[in-house]
Amino acid sequence: MHLLMMFFYATATAIVFSAIDPKPVTLKERFIHGLKVFGWFMGVGLSISVVLFPLPW
Amino acid sequence: MADNLAADYSDRAIHSEFVRPFPIARRALAVIAAWLAPGAGHLVLGRYWRGLVFFMVIFGSFCFGLALHGKLFWPEAAEPPSFLHYDLITVLWSFAQVGSGLCYLGAYALGVGTTAHPEATTFDYGNTFMFLAGLLNYLVIHDAFDVAQGRKR
């Protein structure tokens, strides 16, 4: 459940971030930029969860 | 730092002949419309596809949050009373949600999401998606302003 919500959250954020970023010009560049943002959100989220999992509080 | 940032974006700089700030009335209309309806600011400025994408993502996030039993927040009095009078976290939460404009006001007028359902397992997820909608719309409002000013295409 949590992973699914994280997926939706990262998707929505990646779409908006890739659309407002001025650096990508072509649609392909925007798509790649969106994929990178999505990957970072998911990667960092999963990394934090792995780090926090063994903590007792 | 600023120099490096400018150098990084220099190949993407908009040439002066393309920089056309919109008239002040249209700029103001774009910003107000962008707050009221996600993506409407871009529609006013002729960026139809981008406006449609913003509308679908932000409106979709807000509705998804409501469907997950999210609550519409408004600043509440601190309990126990403090010198700030308002509970700071509810001030921040309501600020985040108010960013979604008519989504927030419309839901409030319809009485949807006005009561909390903390017993629902998706309550916190719903709130998070409603915060996301408002906060993303603040970014979209800023983007519409940049486009209207002629800083971006």
B22-74 tens-digit pLDDT: 888 999 999 999 999 999 999 999 999 999 999 999 999 999 999 999 999 99
- Chain position carrying tokens 């971006």: B152
Instruction: Using alpha carbons, list the distances in angstroms from residue B5 to A30, B2, B12, B124, B142.
Output: 19, 5, 12, 37, 19
B139 and A25 within 8 Å at the Cβ level: the answer is no
**pLDDT interval class at B78 (50, 70, 90):** confident
ipTM of the complex: 0.88
Q: Which of A9, A22, A23 has the CB atom closest to B132's CB atom?
A: A9
Please determine, for residue B16, whether its predicted confidence score (pLDDT) is greater than 60: no
Return the pLDDT at B7: 67
Mean pLDDT of B77-89: 82
* Residue length of chain B: 153
Please determine, for residue B119, whether its predicted confidence score (pLDDT) is greater than 80: yes
Write out the residues of chain A at the interface with chain B, using a CB-CB cutoff of 8 A.
1, 5, 8-9, 12-13, 15-16, 19-20, 22-23, 25
Please determine, for residue B19, whether its predicted confidence score (pLDDT) is greater than 70: no
B135 Cβ contact partners less than 8 Å away, ≥ 6 residues apart:
B96, B99
Q: Each residue of B23-47: b (16+ CB within 10 Å) or e? A: eeeebebbbbbbbbbbbbbbbbbeb
Return the pLDDT at B14: 57
DSSP string, B47-97: -HHHHHHHHHHHHHHHHHHHHTT-------B-SS--TT-B-HHHHHHHHHH
**pLDDT interval class at B10 (50, 70, 90):** low
**pLDDT interval class at B6 (50, 70, 90):** low
Please determine, for residue B18, whether its predicted confidence score (pLDDT) is greater than 60: no
Write out the residues of chain B at the interface with chain A, using a CB-CB cutoff of 8 A.
8-9, 12, 50, 53-54, 57-58, 60-61, 64, 121, 125, 128-129, 132, 136, 139-140, 142-143, 152-153
Q: Which of B50, B57, B153 has the CB atom closest to A12's CB atom?
A: B57
A16 and B58 within 8 Å at the Cβ level: the answer is yes
DSSP state of B118: T
More reliable by pLDDT, B101 or B7 = B101
How confident is the prediction for chain A on average, in pLDDT? 92
Taking residue B137's Cβ as centre, other Cβ atoms within 10 Å add up to: 33
Mean pLDDT of A35-41: 96
